[in-house]
Amino acid sequence: MKKSIIIKNILVFAVLLLTACDSFLEEEPRGLLTTGNFYNNDSEAILASNGLYRILHRGNLYRTRGLDDYLVSGTDVVGPSRNVNANIHNYLINEGVSDGNGVWGSLYELIRNACDIIDRVDNNESLTEDIREQVMGEALFMRALAYYHLTNLWGDVPYFRELLPLSELAVLERVAKETIRTDIKVDLEEAYNLLPSTYSDDELGRATKWAAKALQAKLYLFDEEWQPALDACNEIINYSPHTLLDNFADVFDQTDITNQYNAEHIFVVDFTTDPVIGDLDTNRTDDYNPRLRDEPADRNSVPTTNNPDGLANWELLFNALGEIDQDMTGYGWAIPLPEIADQANWDPDDLRYDATIVTEYLGFQLSFPYYRKNWNLNNTSPRENHSENYIVFRLADIYLMAAEAENELNGPNGAYAYVNKVRERAFEPNKPWSGLSQQEFREAMYDERKFELAAEGHRKMDLIRWGILLDVVRTVEHRAWNNPGANIQEKHVLLPIPQQELLLNPNLLNTDPTNNGYR
């Protein structure tokens, strides 16, 4: 059931502007409070925790292209349908040019607020034990999630675990990624022990212990700590309430706004159609929704059969959409690259293709292919005001991670069970893997994760950790208006520390004057 767990405003250093939220559209202002007289009861602690979820709704994170710019663009799965977003997709990034400054700022805001909550809630006798543990666990998870993204995108970054005075924050140097990740893996184990396994329907969307374990598994996998990664994945597979859905397409079905969660989702960012505030919703969907001005192919042609009113193809498509209460009102610029859009590059029995890619709709050939799994044409999901949840972690990813870790530890024999569990629903007839060498299994996983998780925010980090990003970008087919293969360099596996941050704090260059190779 679609319910709210978020509030309108968030902690910013020592000031809180609070609103209670019983549902997405019901808010009651509580006035201006300082942290000194806050956290006096369970309700106030929950409100503070809700503020952390609110930050995830920022356009710089999950609401629009924010994180997607750096997790999805510039690989072999998604590209623009026209000459837009070119700096990022074409690797024309530099200090001050698409350097992720907004993402950086929002992630550190999340960290600062999580640190404040941890300090205020820990050993707070005004709170019941259950709420104290839940809020502490949520704050530990959110802080770890922020550092996970920061270290993935920038490597070594400023690191703090308590809310520092501005004077100290302003002079921090970068800390080794390995140090940060060692700490947050421990934090996530504590979060796992503190957080509940499930929530009631009106609290869906909150981080559970399984969300903490999934993030921990990701960190172990990225750091090639294979046994801890496998153990974390097995914990989720064997003991969590999460299960794989029987139908791949159902994982992404967001058409019913009252039933947008399912058993495969481990952690999502919950969005809602919002006529009041304007940022409880998401417009990421519009990147994947077509725009009618592009569609269909031969849009201005006038068919001579079954067309008594002499309408153009686009008018016929518009009418056909209207009959099922749909429209094409998106931006249509996050579309599959030609190779993944071509069904000839998929196994012919892979059922995921039709659930992932769409090239024809309602009998009309489309000008571009689109990601069916990420679009929603229903008029109940209007342009720039969508309610679709962003799926951050889901169970199929965990199975594939377990398969990868097991293969690295012991070879493929024990890894087949994990990957074949995912492939059971993907193929008709079933096509389980067998008879592969360790290296063949490793390389087969490159494509298996691409087809299972396309356009879900995993591909770029996968290619980077496998060490094949440059080779893939240089060899995959791009569209005529893009040429990232000619521009990508070794330095592009990381972003430069944002120029604005360097101007405010030159100490960020102390440990690396080259700024990740961009100087």
**CA pair distance 386, 191, nearest whole angstrom:** 31
pLDDT tens for each residue of 197-226: 999 998 999 999 999 999 999 999 999 999
- Which helix (H) or strand (E) segment holds residue 269: the answer is strand 265-269
Q: State the Rg of the chain over Cα.
A: 23
Residues paired with residue 224 on neighbouring β-strands, in sequence order: none
pLDDT value of residue 38: 80
For 144, the token pair is 């770890």
Amino acid in position 216: Q
**CA pair distance 388, 316, nearest whole angstrom:** 28
**Residue 367, domain member (yes or no):** yes
pLDDT tens for each residue of 241-296: 999 999 999 999 998 888 899 999 999 999 988 655 556 889 999 999 999 999 99
Mean pLDDT of the chain: 92
What band does 35 get if pLDDT is binned at 50, 70 and 90?
low
In this structure, how many other beta carbons lie within 10 angstroms of the beta carbon of residue 247?
11
Q: Residue 292: phi, psi to the nearest 5?
A: -65, -25
Domain that holds residue 309: 284-388
pLDDT value of residue 277: 56
CA dihedral angle for residue 433, residue 437, residue 443, residue 444, rounded to 10 degrees: -10
Amino acid in position 389: N
- pTM of the shown model: 0.93
Q: Are strands 26-34 and 265-269 parallel, antiparallel or unpaired?
A: unpaired
**CA pair distance 502, 515, nearest whole angstrom:** 10
Average pLDDT for 307-330: 97
**Residue 348, domain member (yes or no):** yes
pLDDT tens for each residue of 122-167: 999 999 999 999 999 999 999 999 999 999 999 999 999 999 998 9
**CA pair distance 490, 469, nearest whole angstrom:** 9
Query: Euclidean distance between the first and final Cα of the chain, in Å?
Result: 50
Q: Are strands 78-79 and 357-361 parallel, antiparallel or unpaired?
A: unpaired
Residues 499/95, Cβ–Cβ less than 8 Å:
yes
Residues paired with residue 282 on neighbouring β-strands, in sequence order: 386
- The length of the chain, given as a count of residues: 519
Residue by residue, DSSP assigns 121-133 as: HTT-TTS-HHHHH
**Residue 267, domain member (yes or no):** no
**Residue 146, domain member (yes or no):** no
**Residue 299, domain member (yes or no):** yes
**Residue 480, domain member (yes or no):** no
Q: Which residues of 168-186 are buried (b: 16+ CB within 10 A; e: fewer)?
A: ebeeeebbebeebbebbbe
What band does 36 get if pLDDT is binned at 50, 70 and 90?
low
User: On the CB side of 176, how many CA atoms lie within 13 Å of its CA?
Assistant: 3
Residues 311/278, Cβ–Cβ less than 8 Å:
no
**Residue 364, domain member (yes or no):** yes
pLDDT value of residue 344: 98
pLDDT at 228 over 90: yes
Question: How many structural domains comprise the chain?
Answer: 1
**Residue 321, domain member (yes or no):** yes
Average pLDDT for 59-71: 95
**CA pair distance 8, 29, nearest whole angstrom:** 9
Percentage of residues in the chain with pLDDT exceeding 70?
Answer: 92
pLDDT value of residue 32: 37
Closest CA to 61 of 254, 278, 279, 356: 279
